[in-house]
Chain A
Amino acid sequence: MSGKQSDRTGSLLGLSPVVVQRIKKGWTSQERAIISTLSILAFLTIWEVVVIYFKRIDPLFASAPSIIFAAGQELVASGELFRHAGVTLQNLIIGFVLAAIVGNFVGIAMGRMKYLDFAATPFVDALNAVPRIAFLPLIIIWFGIGIWSKVVLVFLGAVFPMLINAYEGVRGTDPKLIEAARAYGATERDIFFKVVFPAAIPFIVAGLRQGVGRALISVIVAEFFASNAGLGYLIQFSGATFRTGHLFVAILVVAIFGILATYGIRVSEKRIAPWLHERHAD
């Protein structure tokens, strides 16, 4: 679009010349917010209209925003949504926290101790290579279908990205920083707590972000097969009983969990290590 054209379009949309100037220059956040919202609204409108108004597709099959909204109301009113969400959250948090503790501890230890690294790596690599879902039948045999089977699968899903990131963070410490610390009289302990560990923190946080994503997948899958409560169970049950409206509601809640979790960690990642994200002054 030429300069003159976009000016005219801008004023047609009722945008001030200042905003139009800025839009011409780049991808402004105003533009992004407007268009993203319009896109979502358009999608929902088309969906609703195609299914309900034009009756093009069977609502049992495709559902529709109005149906989903109604299903949502029903689930909230009966308290079911909160109950299932609560169960999922519980499984998720316990499994994730355990994975975070074990994963980071072992990852850091492996990074510092050569023999532990050599001894443990084959197990880490082997377990990491297997899609965690493959362990589910075994987990059910060992832990039944109570809370622990979910927690264990979440743990297995989340622990490896965190272990590996913590390990890389420790191993990847800039040797020049360690040398500088030694030159100024640091003991081995000083070097670990004041140089290696702080340097590893951005990696550990990245590991947490990856771990959360995996944990969420694991908890839903575990709840598909080894549960009678939780959002995963709700999804599976709604699907089995053809309640597509409920199905979408559950999926939506899971999506919200996922977005909140990863967004939250991503924001703190930027805060924690500004020097990794910024460009230098000179």
Chain B
Amino acid sequence: MNHIRVDQINHSFQTVSGGDPILALKDVSFEIEQGEFVSLLGPSGCGKTTLLRIMHGLIKPTEGRTLVDGKTVTGPDPRRAMVFQDFGLLPWRTALHNIEMGLEFQGVNKEARRKTAAEMINVVGLEGFEKHYPHQLSGGMKQRVGLARALTMSPESFFMDEPFASLDAQMRELMQEELLRIWSQFKTTVVFVTHGIDEAIYLSDRIIVMSARPGRVKLEIKIPFPRPRHGVRATPEFAHLREELWEILKGEIQYGRMRETVGG
């Protein structure tokens, strides 16, 4: 049985100004296997972030459902550990205290929480920064805190929403390496939302490319590169794949723009 199955998700929402509801997602269906690293790649506004939240259970879809291990998703679940683009850290808590957040909500006692959080600090390489506050940390470090928090849940899956989009280019590549390093230890299922083609190819086993709004699955592509993938960015195969995906994505971006100006 596959780990996560998205079944005919359609989603629309009302805008603040009223008027017709906007169709964000249309007939989205796909499957993700246990331990697979899957990226949702698409132009901005295609609904991939909404889709991620629907899959997690934070949003209820207008139509359709998500199944995890055969059971329908009815609400958010910390076993699907989420990592956010803007980090989602409480500014009044230290790094360590933020990492404990998930365990705290689960009712785990203080000692056990401390211990697990301290372990995760080591896993993400933030030793010495336990007592730092988020505003004292760089973007990359903040995201490591976010990752550590996710890891404390011993999650069945990671749901990552453009986690490196707020970081500068160098930090982003570093964090991609870090993510793969950590992931290879646990080999958990990962659903990764991004609009970065390079990132998607480098990280994933498979990419699900989405169309412009309303988001549909445009195509699924399996990444043929074996792991570990350290030098892969320099290979001609990588470049080819990148070009291919870029052409597809570019088409979708232009198509989406055209439809918006025409009022479709």
Question: Interface of A with B (CB < 8 Å)?
Answer: 176-177, 179-187, 190, 194-195, 198-199, 201, 273-275, 278, 280-282
In the complex where A184-B101, A185-B78, A185-B105 touch, is A281 in contact with B88 (Cβ < 8 A)? no
Chain B: CB-nearest residue to A280 = B135
Cβ contact within 8 Å between B101 and A181: yes
Partner-contacting stretch, out of B11-19, B61-69, B136-144, B199-207 = B136-144
Closest beta carbon of chain B to A106's beta carbon, Å:
24
29 A-B contacts, Cβ less than 8 Å apart?
A176-B88, A177-B88, A179-B88, A181-B101, A183-B58, A183-B78, A183-B82, A183-B88, A184-B82, A184-B105, A184-B149, A184-B153, A185-B102, A185-B105, A187-B105, A190-B105, A198-B90, A201-B92, A273-B91, A273-B92, A274-B135, A275-B133, A275-B134, A278-B135, A278-B136, A281-B135, A281-B138, A282-B139, A282-B140
Given contacts A198-B90, A275-B92, A275-B134, contact A180 B82 (CB under 8 A): yes
Which residues of B in the span 39-87 have a Cβ within 8 Å of any Cβ on A? 56, 58, 76-78, 81-82, 84, 86
By the criterion CB–CB under 8 Å, are A183 and B76 in contact?
yes
Give Cα distance in the complex from A201 to B91, angstroms. 12
Question: Taking each of B56, B88, B104, B138, which has the highest tally of chain A beta carbons within 10 Å of its own beta carbon?
Answer: B88
The 9 closest A-B pairs by CB, nearest first: A180-B88, A275-B135, A185-B78, A184-B102, A282-B138, A275-B91, A183-B82, A185-B105, A186-B105
A181 to B88, CA, bound (A): 8
> Which residues in B have some Cβ–Cβ distance to A below 8 Å?
56, 58, 76-78, 81-82, 84, 86, 88-92, 101-102, 104-106, 133-140, 149, 153, 168
Chain B residues within an 8 Å CB radius of A198 = 90, 92
Q: Give Cα A275 to B137, complex, Å.
A: 11
Q: Is the interface of A mostly helix, strand, loop or mixed?
A: helix
Q: Is the CB of B105 within 8 A of A281?
A: no
Of A176, A183, A274, A280, the contact of B56 (CB 8 Å cutoff): A183
Beyond A184-B82, A281-B136, 10 additional pairs, beta carbon < 8 A: A176-B86, A177-B88, A180-B84, A184-B153, A185-B76, A194-B90, A194-B104, A278-B135, A281-B135, A282-B168
Q: List the B side residues contacting A282 at CB < 8 Å.
A: 138-140, 168
Return the chain A residue nearest B93 by Cβ: A198
| Chain A residue, CB-CB nearest to B152 | A184
B82 neighbours in A (Cβ, 8 Å) = 180, 183-184
Residue of A nearest to B168 (CB): A282
Check A177–B138 contact: CB distance below 8 A: no
- Chain A residue at minimal CB-CB distance from B59: A179
Please report the C-alpha to C-alpha distance between residue A136 and residue B92 in the assembled complex, in whole angstroms.
42
How many Å from the CB of B78 to the closest CB on chain A?
A: 4
Contacts of B84 in A (CB 8 A): 176, 179-180
Report B-chain residues with C-beta under 8 Å of the C-beta of A274.
Answer: 133, 135
Chain B residues lying within 8 Å of A281, measured Cβ to Cβ, are 135-138
Residue of B nearest to A277 (CB): B135
Chain A nearest CB, measured from B16 CB (Å): 14
Closest to B75 in A: A182
* Distance in angstroms between the alpha carbons of A44 and B3 in the assembled complex: 81
Check B133–A185 contact: CB distance below 8 A.
Answer: no
Given contacts A190-B105, A282-B139, is CB(A184)–CB(B134) below 8 Å? no
Interface core residue of B101, B133, B153 (most chain A CB under 10 Å): B101
When chains A and B are docked, how far (Å) is the Cα of A282 from the Cα of B143? 13
**Complexed CA–CA distance, A36 and B100 (Å):** 49
B252 → chain A closest CB, angstroms: 27
Chain B residue nearest in CB terms to A187? B105
Q: Which B residue's beta carbon lies closest to that of A178? A: B88
What is the CB-to-nearest-CB distance from A264 to chain B, in angstroms, rounded to a whole number?
Answer: 21
Chain A residues whose CB sits within 8 angstroms of the CB of B133 once the complex forms: 274-275
B78 near A184: Cβ-Cβ < 8 Å: yes
Bound Cα distance from A187 to B133, whole angstroms: 24
A190: B residues at CB distance < 8 A:
105
**Nearest-CB distance from B109 to chain A (Å)?**
16
Query: Considering the chains assembled together, what is the distance between the CA atoms of A273 and B76 in angstroms?
Result: 30
Bound-state CA distance A177–B92 (Å) is: 12
Task: Kindly state the separation between the CA atoms of A198 and B104 in the bound complex, as whole angstroms.
Answer: 16
- Residues on B with C-beta less than 8 A from A183 are 56, 58, 76, 78, 82, 88
Are A179 and B58 CB-contacts (below 8 A) given A185-B76, A185-B106, A281-B136?
Answer: yes
Quote the shortest CB–CB distance from B232 to chain A (angstroms).
28
Within the complex, the shortest CB–CB distance from B57 to chain A, in Å, comes to 9
Q: How far apart are B55's CB and chain A's nearest CB, in angstroms?
A: 12
In whole angstroms, what is the CA distance A280 to B76 when docked?
A: 31
Closest to A180 in B: B88
Inter-chain CA distance A15–B61, complex, in Å, is: 72
Is A182 a contact of B90 with CB atoms below 8 Å?
no
Report the minimal beta-carbon distance from A273 to chain B, rounded to whole angstroms: 7
Question: Which chain A residue shows the least CB distance to B79?
Answer: A185
List B contacts of A280 (CB < 8 A).
135
| Separation of A281 and B145 alpha carbons in the complex (Å) | 15
CB-CB nearest in chain A for B86: A176
CB < 8 Å: which of A181, A275, A278 contacts B105? A181
